[in-house]
Amino acid sequence: MAKQNKLWAGRFSEPTDKLVEEFNASIGIDQRMALYDIEGSLVHAEMLGRQKIITVEEASTIQRGLQQVATEIKSGVFTFNIEDEDVHMAVERRLTAIVGPIGGKLHTARSRNDQVALDFRLYMRAGLRDVRIAITQLQSVILKLAEEHQGQLMPGYTHLQSAQPVSYAHYIMAYFHMLRRDYERMGDAAERMNYCPLGACALAGTTFPIDREFIASHLGFKAPTENSIDSVADRDFALEFLAAASICMSHLSRLSEELIIHSSAEFAFIELSDGFCTGSSIMPQKKNPDIPELIRGKSGRVYGDLLALLTTMKGLPLAYNKDMQEDKEGVFDALDTLLKSLRIFTAMLERMKINGAKMLESAMRGYSTATDLADYLVRKGLAFREAHHAVGKAVAYAIEQQKMLQELLLSELQTFSALIDEDVYGYITVEASAANRNSYGGTGVDALAVQLKNARSYLKTVTK
Ligand code: ARG
């Protein structure tokens, strides 16, 4: 009978079925956590030595061996084999090959269940840091765009119908604020996951006198987790990241959609640089906004990753179940997708051209100052509902005459309300309409200046 040589094979007499070997292995996915696995093991070995669970010499032999494994991984000479099943066993096997049977002492007072929970958290903690940096880089490009285009007017929309004129800066800053919440969500997730599960062992803790405080603090965690069963059964941190990533992708997707619309010949508000577009193999005139389209598409992929893990976790009995090995692929996929999307977005916005004349012309065409005419009448004493009605009639008349509101003669305007005077023209241009909306958070010149100033100092605090 063929012998088993798996690290756990003591009670087995038959080898793993070949089909099972491949199906059961996670090494193709989890090998990217290898350096975090070693980071955790280095501290675990140190703790075992300090607590005299193994000798100090054994601990340092193990640590030296682990350092060598890390060097081999970084230089690319380390080979990951499917027979090792996962990254934890691959590292341990190589360690034992280097230092001999002492390597086998590393797994004292530890299980792969708490080990994988630790590695995954360490990996995601770094991933969340990268995401937050990428978010702030995108925010700073958005803020720069805004600062450069404060006086640029465009139609603001509801229902994709021209509603009221707004500053382009104000419009694009809406995304800055969405990203700020994304940043905070990622930060919240990072805070909540910052407790160390190592020492939970298989699920019940251990009879060895381990020092979980030592491990937690040396790995930069706030504290050890409080319940060993929850420690190995919990994947909330992965779900929280996926939820935050999904929301962030939804923001990128909405902006993508707008870039696609705004770059169409019909709008022509913006032009994406050639480096972010592709042509058509049949229609020579085409310049397709593939990158925003792809990002819009990839949001679906990240939502899928979230749904997959929610579904995997649902109904799992405590504590660890092998189902949970399915957790990493989607999380890594979401992390890669989100990071790439954020970075490519940053570069794309940096090189995008704004067609100011087209935006302004559009804002002037859509009767977007009708509310200002109504507000004008309200200031002259009319109830808003009546003003709304009178202006509605004026707009219908202007459409019929194929004129903009401000092109109507005073005598024409006065047929809709006797309250209208010559001074009305100071209110119903798009410039006046946008410039005067100075309620806090509004698009008006002064309110916008406050918003941009606050955003600038916010960015300074998060990027320092
Ligand atoms: N590869 C496993 C995973 O990713 C590691 C934990 C295995 N634990 C076990 N009891 N089989 O979930």
Answer left, alpha or beta for residue 78, where phi above 0 means left and psi between -120 and 50 means alpha.
Answer: beta
162 and 309, same domain (yes or no):
yes
Look at residue 462 and tell me if it is in a domain. no
Q: What is the pLDDT of residue 285?
A: 79
24 and 166, same domain (yes or no):
no
Domain that includes residue 288, residue range:
113-361
Among 112, 114, 318, which residue has the most ligand 1 atoms within 8 Å of its CB, making it the best to mutate?
Answer: 112
Atom of ligand 1 nearest to the CA of 86: 1
104 and 156, same domain (yes or no):
no
State the CATH number of the domain containing residue 323.
Answer: 1.20.200.10
Look at residue 457 and tell me if it is in a domain. no
227 and 152, same domain (yes or no):
yes
Cis peptide before 25 (omega within 30 of 0): no
Look at residue 47 and tell me if it is in a domain. yes
Look at residue 326 and tell me if it is in a domain. yes
Atom of ligand 1 nearest to the CA of 324: 12
First to last CA, the chain: 63
Cα-to-centroid distance, 82 and ligand 1 (Å): 14
Look at residue 155 and tell me if it is in a domain. yes
Boundary residue ending a domain (314, 333, 361):
361
389 and 406, same domain (yes or no):
yes
Among 86, 91, 115, which residue has the most ligand 1 atoms within 8 Å of its CB, making it the best to mutate?
Answer: 86
Q: CB atoms < 10 A from the CB of 31, how many?
A: 17
155 and 259, same domain (yes or no):
yes
Which residue is it, tokens 């309250």?
419
Q: Where are the alpha helices (DSSP H) in 51-86?
A: 56-75
172 and 281, same domain (yes or no):
yes
Atom of ligand 1 nearest to the CA of 85: 1
Tens of pLDDT, residue by residue over 279-300, are 877 777 778 999 999 999 999 9
Q: Which residues contact 215 (CB under 8 A, 6 or more apart)?
A: 43, 44, 47, 196, 198, 199, 224
221 and 333, same domain (yes or no):
yes
Q: What is the pLDDT of residue 4?
A: 64
Look at residue 197 and tell me if it is in a domain. yes
Which residue is it, tokens 């405590």?
318
State the CATH number of the domain containing residue 103.
Answer: 1.10.275.10
Q: What is the pLDDT of residue 7?
A: 79
Structure tokens at 236: 């909330």
Cα-to-centroid distance, 66 and ligand 1 (Å): 20
> Looking at the 3D structure of the chain, how many domains does it have?
3
The helix/strand count (H/E) of the chain reads as 18, 6
Atom of ligand 1 nearest to the CA of 120: 4
Which residue has a Cα nearest atom 2 of ligand 1? Answer: 325
Which residue has a Cα nearest atom 3 of ligand 1? Answer: 325
Atom of ligand 1 nearest to the CA of 30: 4
338 and 409, same domain (yes or no):
no
Among 20, 110, 116, which residue has the most ligand 1 atoms within 8 Å of its CB, making it the best to mutate?
Answer: 116
Cα-to-centroid distance, 112 and ligand 1 (Å): 6
Which residue is it, tokens 């965690």?
221
248 and 133, same domain (yes or no):
yes
Boundary residue ending a domain (326, 361, 396):
361
Among 325, 327, 328, 332, which residue has the most ligand 1 atoms within 8 Å of its CB, making it the best to mutate?
Answer: 325
Cα-to-centroid distance, 322 and ligand 1 (Å): 6
Look at residue 455 and tell me if it is in a domain. no
Boundary residue ending a domain (361, 385, 413):
361
Which residue is it, tokens 């603001």?
156
Pocket of ligand 1 (CB under 6 A): 26, 30, 86, 112-113, 116, 320, 322, 324-325
Residues of the chain where predicted confidence (pLDDT) is lower than 70: 1-4
Cα-to-centroid distance, 166 and ligand 1 (Å): 54
Atom of ligand 1 nearest to the CA of 202: 10
Which residue has a Cα nearest atom 10 of ligand 1? Answer: 113
Look at residue 7 and tell me if it is in a domain. no
Which residue has a Cα nearest atom 12 of ligand 1? Answer: 325
Tell me how far apart the alpha carbons of residues 217 and 78 are, in angstroms, rounded to a whole number.
30
Tell me how far apart the alpha carbons of residues 325 and 208 are, in angstroms, rounded to a whole number.
27
Tens of pLDDT, residue by residue over 375-398, are 999 999 999 999 999 999 999 999
356 and 404, same domain (yes or no):
no
State the CATH number of the domain containing residue 384.
Answer: 1.10.40.30
Cα-to-centroid distance, 146 and ligand 1 (Å): 48
Which residue has a Cα nearest atom 1 of ligand 1? Answer: 86
274 and 413, same domain (yes or no):
no
Q: Just list the catalytic residues.
A: 159, 280
Cα-to-centroid distance, 320 and ligand 1 (Å): 8
Cα-to-centroid distance, 113 and ligand 1 (Å): 6
